Amino acid sequence: LAAKCVPESAPSVCAMRWALLCALGATHALRVLPARQTGAIAAPAARRTRHPSVTMDVDVDVPPGRADTKKNERRRIMSSTMYKRGGSPFDREIHKQVSDRMSEQFAGELLEQMKESQFREMVVGEGERQITFVLAKDFGFCWGVERSIELAWAAREAYPDATMHITNELIHNPGVNQLLGEMDIKFMDKDVSKLAGKDFDAIDKGDVVILPAFGASLEEMQLLDDKGVVTVDTTCPWVSKVWNAVDKHQRSGMTSVIHGKYKHEEAIATASMCETYLIIKDMKEAQEIAAYILDEPGALTDDELLQKYKHAASPHFHPRKHLKKIGLANQTTMYKKETQAIGRLFEKTMMAAYGPENIKEHFAAFDTICDATQVRQDAVTAMTEEAAETPLDFILVVGGWDSSNTAHLLEIPHESGLTGYHVNVAKCIQPDNTIEHRKVDGSIETAAGFLPLDRAARIGVTSGASTPDSVVQECLERIVMLKKLG
């Protein structure tokens, strides 16, 4: 009987689910949600928007008995007609026009020429005034960032007269955020005494609120849902992929150990999707946690660990209880090799503590480093290795100073002893041959005589995933002008 309920057009992967719902009857298909979750009911079928290696579930049904999970609460909110997400939630013509304007606004002619070159190089000038720019194989704007900008820009076009807010910087790029400000999109004021450290009081029913590429916490999503605003969700699908991973941890009774920075917007959002979590920033902290699990001599005590990670763990977290079963997730922009090394460390740790035969019960890891982060890191690694044979004077890394993925690009040449300068805007490069740059430790300094003026120079070039080509070109133009005048 159930099989007869399956429409001929139903996708094969959904056929059994559809049949089961039909067999159970409408009373089971319509879930009873807690008071906090009353709202639109998702349809039984799943519609998916695809990008290579990324799957986003949209309007997926909530299985009976799971209406209280954070993932299902998130889906309930997203099912509202007031919630705009996906590739093209607005009129197609609006998206086309915005896409064309973005191409004009963010393109870099010099970089396009370098991309077309066989060796991705460009030589400017002659003799001691000569500069050879070497462009990384992969650099700059990623698909997720372009998508986020397009959605935010299209939202302003779709709601030209609406009061519009954004909960945080859209991406970590000063130029793009300035552009949104010029569109009269209001950035929410910071207020540490309020939810998520932001002041939501200025938001009224009917306003439009944009969620940034890093995502927003579940608490923020619930608050906006309660306020009755139009929400435009520009969250990168790779971030959503991490949320799906921590949901699997939750269903397995595991603590999500997040490799990330606990103050970073993405890590905050991911933590809010967990039942129990601990955020660690690097291998040193991972080793600290591993030593505690194995009760090694000199390991942190319960109180010491709780004190150190009081801002980086769920309120109810206790190491004696919550480090017996762990699942590894990460902020998508972290250094790929370090995340992998941390995963291997925890796998060995849990095998030592509970035996290899029980590893699946006590440890899980999913690859949630985004493709864009990986290929940009791999490209800089290749550039650094090639510099051993064909030396570079330095590698110029362009991107926001608060951009995690850009910061990790700088770490790669630094670890190999190759000079790198991380600048966020072109004006960091000054006519007196100084450069204001961010160091690996996060400090900002001004270096004198960074560009050799008495001989030809060879410079590697890369940029973070939230950096427009036009910003990189402005930096290169300044260097060329400095060399000519020098």
CB 62 within 8 A of CB 44: no
Report yes or no: 378 and 439 within 8 Å, Cβ to Cβ: no
* 49: DSSP letter: E
Cα angle for residues 381, 385, 391 (degrees, 5° grid):
120
Burial class, 413, CB count within 10 angstroms (exposed 0-12 / middle 13-18 / buried 19+):
buried
Q: Is 389 annotated in the active site? A: no
* DSSP code per residue over 395-441: EEEES-TT-HHHHHHHHHHHHTT--EEEESSGGGB-TTSEEEEE-TT
Rounded Cα distance between 154 and 474, Å, is: 26
What span, in angstroms and rounded, lies between the C-alpha atoms of 171 and 333? 12
One-letter amino acid at 93 equals: E
Write out the DSSP string of 140-206: S--HHHHHHHHHHHHHHHHSTTS-EEESS-SSS-HHHHHHHHHTTEEEPPB-TTSGGGB--TT--TT
Task: Say which of 266, 275, 411, 474 is annotated catalytic.
Answer: 266
d(CA 83, CA 206): 12
d(CA 384, CA 115): 19
Dihedral angle over CA of 95, 101, 104, 105, nearest 10? -110
Residues annotated as catalytic are: 266
